[in-house]
Amino acid sequence: MTSDQFRSLGHDLVDRIADFLASIRTLPVTPAEPPEQVRVALAATRVLPEAGQDPKALLRDAADLLFEHSLFNGHPRFYGYITSSAAPIGILADLLAAAVNANVGAWKLSPMATEMEAQVIRWLAQFIGYPTDCGGLLLSGGNMANLTCFLAARAAQARWDVREQGVAIGPRLCVYASTETHTWIQKAADLAGLGTKAIHWIDGRQPMDLHELEVRYRQDIEEGYQPFLVVGSAGTVSTGAVDPLPDLASFCQEHGLWFHVDGAYGAFASSVAGAPLELRGLQSADSVAVDPHKWLYTPLEAGCALVRNRSALMKAFSYHPPYYNFEGEGLNYYDIGPQNSRGFRALKVWLALQHAGAAGYRAMIQDDITLARYLYDLAVDHPELEAITNHLSITTLRYVPHELRAGLGSQQTEDYLNQLNQRLLAAIEKSGEAFISNAVIAGKYALRFCIVNFRASTGDVEAMPQLIAQLGRQIHAELSI
């Protein structure tokens, strides 16, 4: 590709992306097509072309395919899971990062990119009130960031060389986590060789039960376990509830356990006025996972592990094979994390943080929290909605037909409402008017709105009760026939 060709193709593509972003509000949130339809659009069974093709046509077709057959998490009415709208500056950052193609595994291979990542780590720590001299690195997302902290805790806490000897020797290691913890904990226990039975679950339906934790810990010590880790959530995946982090920190300090906070979702709210004060407890943690690709709106992927004692990451991950020639050249990220070659994830975070500034981010996060609360209040006032929970920027609610109000709590009514709301979730998706996900709360199948979306407006949220009630009535009528 000549440089003139590159310039022209790039301009065309950026124009198309700018048009797409400008019109995103007018598009369905998702086309909700079945897999077969998407495969037909792609001509999925086509064989790999033998001859090279015209890049202009290729880029045009790729953009058409993606703009016409994607779910848009940047749409103002996307409220599913904890997936955010992507900051436009992050989109440009990824283009620039790919152009430099820095391998941020070793300082020598990526001098400026490595230093930018180190600066991002200090800025993220600063934003959540964590020590800025902590160790840290960017990873693909919350799962990998939490896993990285888990492995750092295991290496630091095992009383033998667990990296060399594995977990077959020594006392049985165990960890404590609330039943509301995201499923990364199962993958971590599994991948770390402990097995998922090493997770000693503590009831987390209400705030995590400290008494139960205390009792279980004493019992485990008597039975010969070596407890090494307590996990607290700074915003649970289902409802956004915050564990009693300061109490968990004290418990860990008293018993010499590693305290890890999963702040993938909620940690960035800790500096926002009015957010739950418990969030500040993350400042005492030995490690924290945070996700710039959630509430900092960077395009996927960007997760981050922060570890108070920076040498703990080195202790958990460093190997020095003879074919490495990077000693004494500044920070080598291969030394403090699981990856060898690493992409330049930091650039999009570095640019986005400065574009909005700390105050800009606090304001955007505050807006999301306010919108979720507003939706909850609208549901409270609506005769056909039942507001269930509201924490941080997650609100859960369900549709309840008028005539079933009186029967709430009876098994038959609850079973019916679960079926109705499950169908309703699918109908909302199919409508293309909004995209939400679900939560099951004390047996209730709830519609879950997670607002991590800088495009969502008051008007978007105000439209939700009517959409739910209208589709809810239709489904109720169909089910009642």
Ligand X SMILES: Cc1ncc(COP(=O)(O)O)c(C=O)c1O
Of the pair 81, 123, the CB lying nearest ligand X is at 81
Side-chain half-sphere exposure of 460, counting CA atoms within 13 A = 22
Of the pair 186, 422, the CB lying nearest ligand X is at 186
Query: Closest approach of Cβ 149 to ligand X, in Å?
Result: 11
Of the pair 107, 184, the CB lying nearest ligand X is at 184
Which residues is 173 bridged to in the sheet? 226
Q: What number of other Cβ atoms are within 10 A of residue 461's Cβ?
A: 22
Query: Closest approach of Cβ 201 to ligand X, in Å?
Result: 16
- Rg for the chain (alpha carbons), in Å? 24
CA dist 251 → 219, 231, 286, 321 (Å): 15, 12, 13, 40
Of the pair 286, 384, the CB lying nearest ligand X is at 286
Query: Closest approach of Cβ 364 to ligand X, in Å?
Result: 18
Please give the structure tokens belonging to residue 322.
Answer: 């003879």
Of the pair 72, 265, the CB lying nearest ligand X is at 265
Q: What's the distance, Cα to Cα, between the start and end of the chain in Å?
A: 63
What are the φ/ψ torsions at residue 192 (nearest 5 degrees)?
-80, 0
Report which of 146, 120, 117 is spatially closest to residue 285, judged by C-alpha positions: 146
Of the pair 106, 346, the CB lying nearest ligand X is at 346
Pairing of strands 394-399, 385-391: antiparallel
DSSP category for residue 24: G
E strand or H helix at 39: helix 35-42
Of the pair 87, 427, the CB lying nearest ligand X is at 87
Residue nearest to ligand X (CB): 142
Of the pair 233, 271, the CB lying nearest ligand X is at 233
Query: Closest approach of Cβ 41 to ligand X, in Å?
Result: 27
Q: Which residues contribute to the site for ligand X (CB under 6 A)?
A: 81-82, 141-143, 146, 182, 184, 233, 237, 262, 264-265, 291, 303
Of the pair 178, 283, the CB lying nearest ligand X is at 178
Q: Are 164 and 265 in contact (CB under 8 A)?
A: no
Residue with tokens 């490595």: 114
CA dist 463 → 49, 220, 469 (Å): 47, 51, 10
Query: Closest approach of Cβ 288 to ligand X, in Å?
Result: 11
3-state SS assignment for residue 326 = coil
Query: Closest approach of Cβ 184 to ligand X, in Å?
Result: 5
CA dist 256 → 193, 220, 227, 294 (Å): 22, 15, 9, 32
Query: Closest approach of Cβ 356 to ligand X, in Å?
Result: 20
Q: What number of other Cβ atoms are within 10 A of residue 184's Cβ?
A: 22
Query: Closest approach of Cβ 43 to ligand X, in Å?
Result: 31
Query: Closest approach of Cβ 301 to ligand X, in Å?
Result: 7
Please give the structure tokens belonging to residue 177.
Answer: 């986590």
